[in-house]
Structures are given as C-alpha cells and as structure tokens.
Structure 1
Amino acid sequence: MGVCLGKPQTDDDDSEKHFEFANGNVHLIATKESWDQKMAEASRDGKIVIANFSATWCGPCRMVAPFYCELSEKYPSLMFLLIDVEELTEFSASWDIKATPTFFFLKDGQQVDKLVGANKPELQKKVTAIVDSTTECQK
C-alpha cells in the first residue's frame, strides 16, 4: 500500500495537469463552491460520493489514479470527486488529511467509510460494498 506523507523537496515545476487524475467520470474539485455544488447534486440524486484527496506529486496517487478513473466509469451510480490537497489546502485540512491518497465515502454529506493509501484491492472492495448496500436498499 502506498501513502505519501509529505511533498518531496524538488526543484521541479508543479505544472503537472490533472487530466491524468480526472478522467472518466471523475470530477475535479478546484473550489469549495464546486464541492458544495457536487455534494448538493449527489444528495438530490441519491448518489454516494467517493472523494479522493490526492496530490499530483504523490507517486501512490499517480499509481491509483487510472484505477480510480476506471471505477468511475464502471460505477456511474456513484459520484467520484478528486480534490488536490495542494490547491485546496484549508479545505483538505478541514478533513484532517494526514496522507495521500485518502478516500472518503460519503452519503448525504456524512462519512460512511474511509480508506488511506493506494490499495487497489481494498478500494475495489469498499466500492463494491457501497454499491451492494445501495442496491439492497432499493429492493
């Protein structure tokens, strides 16, 4: 399981784009307002939200990003969000992010589960469990 605990000290330009992180049905959250809008939309539509707090410089985040995008396409009944902890530092701090990536599973804005680290099998397991639980509720 990969986890980044801090930004590496490099002279590299941080101009990496988010397109590799936010493909498929993943929505990039760049402002608190866009977060509020997506959360309201999810509540209105009865969708579970998976919020990925990530960073472009984080190796494990880069590793899990394509898988996260695949999941977003496989499970359109869920809402997949991507929050860059470097761009939304105060907002990320309000979620007590200690390592990246951190995934929160939210229903009606309330946390129902959490995963810290780029553990693909565990992420798949938690997404499947969420989908199964929402399917059960609809029967």
Structure 2
Amino acid sequence: MGICFSSNRNDGDESDHNAEFVGGNVTLITTKDAWDQKLSEAKREHKIVISNFSAAWCGPCRMIAPYYIELSEKHPSLMFLSVDVDELTEFSTQWDIKATPTFFFLKDGDQFDKLVGANKPELLKKINGIVDSESGRLI
C-alpha cells in the first residue's frame, strides 16, 4: 500500500493534477464553495460521496488515480470527488489529512468511513460494500 506523507511541496506544476486525477465521473474540487455545492447535490440526490484527497507530486496518488476514475465510471450512483491537498491546503488541514491519498466516504455530509493509502483491493471492497448496502435499501 503506497502512502505519501503531507508536505508543503510546491513544484509549480499543479496543473498535472487536473489531467491525472480527473476523468470519468470524478469532479475536481478547487474551492470550499464547490465542495459545499457538491455535498448539497449529493444530499438532494441521496448519493454517497467518495472524496480522494491527493497530491500531484505523490506517486501512490498518481498510481491509483486511473483506478479511481474507472470506479467512478462503474458506479454512477456514487459521487466521486478529488481534492488536491496543495491547492486547498487549509481545507485539507480541516479534514486532518496526514498522508495521501486519503479517501473519505460521506453520507449526508457526514463521514462514515475512511481509507488511507493507495490500496486498490480495500477501496474496491469498501465501494462494493456501499453499493451492496444501497441496493439492498431499494428492494
């Protein structure tokens, strides 16, 4: 499992984050207002939110990003967000991000689970568990 520890690193190459970390049904969050809007939308639509706090310079973050995008395409009933910890430093600090990537799982704006590290099997297990429990409620 790969993890990068937080740093105040700034290579001046933050535009890489958009290309590598966003695609499929993943929305890049660049402001606190955008975060609030997406959480309100998720609440209205009764969607679970999965948020990937990552950094452009983090190797494990870059490694899992295509998989995260792939999962977003397979599970349109969930909302997938991506937050660059260097672009939203203060906001990331509020979420107590100590290592990247960190995935938060939220329902109605409240965190109910968390995964630290680029652990593909564990991320898939958590998402499948969510999808299974949500589909069980529809029956």
Q: Secondary structure at the match of 2:33?
A: helix
Which residue of structure 2 aligns with residue 33 of structure 1? Answer: 33
Which residue of structure 2 aligns with residue 52 of structure 1? Answer: 52
Q: CA deviation at 1:13?
A: 3.8
Question: Across the two proteins, how many residue pairs are aligned to each other?
Answer: 138
Which residue of structure 2 aligns with residue 65 of structure 1? Answer: 65
Normalising by structure 2, report the TM-score. Answer: 0.94
Q: CA deviation at 1:113?
A: 0.8
- 2:86 counterpart letter in structure 1: E
Instruction: Write out per-residue CA displacement over residues 10-40 of structure 1, whole angstroms, 9 at most, x where no aligned residue.
Output: 8x54244212210100000000000000000
Q: Distance in 1 between matches of 2:119 and 2:78?
A: 19
Which residue of structure 2 aligns with residue 102 of structure 1? Answer: 102
- 1:14 counterpart letter in structure 2: D
Q: Secondary structure at the match of 2:19?
A: coil
Q: Could you say what the CA RMSD is over the residues aligned between the two structures, in angstroms?
A: 1.4
Q: Which runs of 5+ in 2 are unaligned?
A: none
Instruction: Write out per-residue CA displacement over residues 85-122 of structure 1, whole angstroms, 9 at most, x where no aligned residue.
Output: 00101110000001000000000001111100000000
Q: CA deviation at 1:9?
A: 6.3
Q: Secondary structure at the match of 1:46?
A: coil
Q: Which 4+ residue blocks in structure 1 deviate beyond 6 angstroms?
A: none
What is the 5 A alignment of 1:71-82? 71-82=71-82
- 2:49 counterpart letter in structure 1: V
What is the 5 A alignment of 1:7-26? 7=7, 12-17=11-16, 18-26=18-26
Q: Which runs of 5+ in 1 are unaligned?
A: none
